[in-house]
């Protein structure tokens, strides 16, 4: 392993390991795109075409659900439109009827369990205030915010559109964020739902995700299928403190889809272990303090950060402290004085705050200098004001003098003209005849 440390206050880069090697027990999968994500740290533990564009099909609905709970309320009542029920005949449906009214909460169960495309459209219309395009715009904004920057969504259900795409990594990030919401985690992990007023006619609504029954620790996820996308599946599983998110896209057979997901998760739990990258209170250099009783403070990590580590290996991550050149006193306990950027290659995994090792009071001399500085500032302003006042007075006096001079000149010219005019009149009178 190569280890290199480059020191410096604001741009220190600590290389902890080289790129993650392929392990001997790497899973054998059949999907066109595969990715395994550490749900705690955000590390990519395994991937095949994990950064390549793919169609998400109904796994889109995890993002739809996330946007719905961010912009709507669970008790919001949504009236079902004709467009919501006017879907392709082979489209998955919860058998909504035009004109009926349903709570957003129930529509979310239909969305994530039975993959109802009618629920997806109704949610987009209702939460979007009658403007499903606005809802789709929120979907894309949310995707970019959580780091899913190589995706584009054109609808809330995932029915095929050439401009509607994602990548396995982006889909894993979306699932990780959506299932971090307690409401969505509860819904996605529900195996069957008795919809008030509808189960009497249609029976219970079952979760399409068989991983809930087939794999110990499965928390939730989403299935999907279109002819163009193939079978898609995203699953979040938790064992102890370890949280994994698996994605398989472009499967041909349902059997291999679930087998691939199980192999992927087994690989994550079997070949990796969780270890602290750093603990809360770990020092990362010193930040100078100006005007304080102490010249500086140690910069301490403000929280623990856990990562997945290959058994017998090292994590393929880097820590980049971002420390200011100095901070001004007083410095209080708990005040953020920088940050630690945890990266996997060029990808930012997390930003952890840096806290001071101690509080630092301002020096008494600093107070004196502060008030002296203020006094000098006001004196300077007063002196400047006096100079401006004197300049204005002088300018006014000069203007008055010029004005009086012009008046005297005009008066003299007027008297001269009158004398000349009288002489001319007298001459003309003498010579009139």
Q: CA 110, CA 97: separation in Å to the nearest integer?
A: 14
**115 catalytically annotated:** yes
**151 catalytically annotated:** no
Q: Which of 61, 151, 198, 308 is catalytic?
A: 61
Burial of 423 (0-12, 13-18, 19+ CB in 10 A): exposed
**61 catalytically annotated:** yes
In terms of phi and psi (left: phi > 0; alpha: psi -120 to 50; beta: otherwise), the region of 95 is: left
Q: Which of 41, 81, 115, 308 is catalytic?
A: 115
Active site residues: 58, 61, 115
């Amino acid at each position: 392993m190569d280890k290199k440390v480059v020191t410096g206050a604001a741009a220190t880069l600590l290389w902890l390991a080289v790129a993650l090697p392929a392990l001997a027990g790497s899973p054998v999968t059949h999907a066109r795109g595969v990715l395994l994500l550490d749900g705690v740290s955000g590390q990519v533990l395994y991937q095949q075409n994990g950064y390549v564009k793919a169609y998400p099909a109904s796994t889109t609905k995890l993002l739809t659900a996330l946007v719905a709970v961010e912009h709507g309320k669970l008790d919001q009542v949504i009236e079902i439109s004709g467009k919501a029920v006017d879907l392709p005949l082979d489209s998955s449906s919860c058998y909504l009827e035009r004109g009926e009214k349903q709570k957003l909460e129930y529509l979310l169960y239909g969305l994530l369990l039975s993959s109802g495309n009618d629920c997806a459209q109704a949610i987009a219309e209702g939460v979007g205030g009658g403007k499903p395009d606005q809802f789709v715009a929120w979907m894309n904004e949310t995707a970019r915010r959580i780091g899913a920057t190589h995706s584009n969504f054109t609808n809330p259900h995932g029915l095929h559109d050439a401009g509607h795409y994602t990548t396995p990594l982006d889909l894993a990030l979306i699932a990780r964020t959506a299932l971090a919401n307690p409401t969505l985690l509860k819904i996605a992990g529900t195996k069957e739902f008795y919809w008030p007023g509808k189960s009497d006619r249609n029976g219970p609504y079952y979760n399409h995700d068989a991983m809930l029954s087939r794999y110990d620790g499965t928390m939730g996820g989403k299935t999907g299928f279109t002819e163009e996308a193939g079978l898609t599946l995203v699953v979040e599983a938790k064992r102890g403190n370890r949280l994994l998110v698996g994605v398989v896209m472009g499967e041909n057979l349902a059997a291999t889809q679930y087998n691939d997901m199980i192999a992927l998760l087994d690989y994550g739990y079997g070949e990796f272990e969780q270890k602290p990258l750093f603990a809360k209170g770990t020092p990362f250099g010193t930040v100078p303090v100006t005007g304080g009783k102490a010249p500086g403070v140690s910069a301490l990590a403000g929280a623990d950060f856990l990562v997945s580590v290959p058994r017998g290996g090292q994590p393929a991550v880097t820590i980049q402290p971002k420390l200011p050149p100095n901070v001004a006193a007083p410095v209080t306990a708990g005040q953020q004085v920088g940050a630690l950027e945890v990266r996997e290659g060029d990808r930012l995994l997390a930003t952890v705050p840096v806290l001071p090792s101690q509080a630092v009071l301002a020096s008494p001399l600093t107070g004196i200098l502060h008030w002296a500085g203020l006094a000098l500032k006001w004196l300077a302003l007063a002196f400047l004001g006096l100079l401006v006042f004197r300049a204005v007075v002088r300018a006014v006096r000069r203007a008055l003098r010029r004005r009086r001079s012009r008046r005297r000149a005009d008066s003299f010219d007027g008297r001269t003209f009158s004398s000349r005019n009288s002489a001319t009149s007298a001459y003309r009178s003498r010579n009139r005849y």
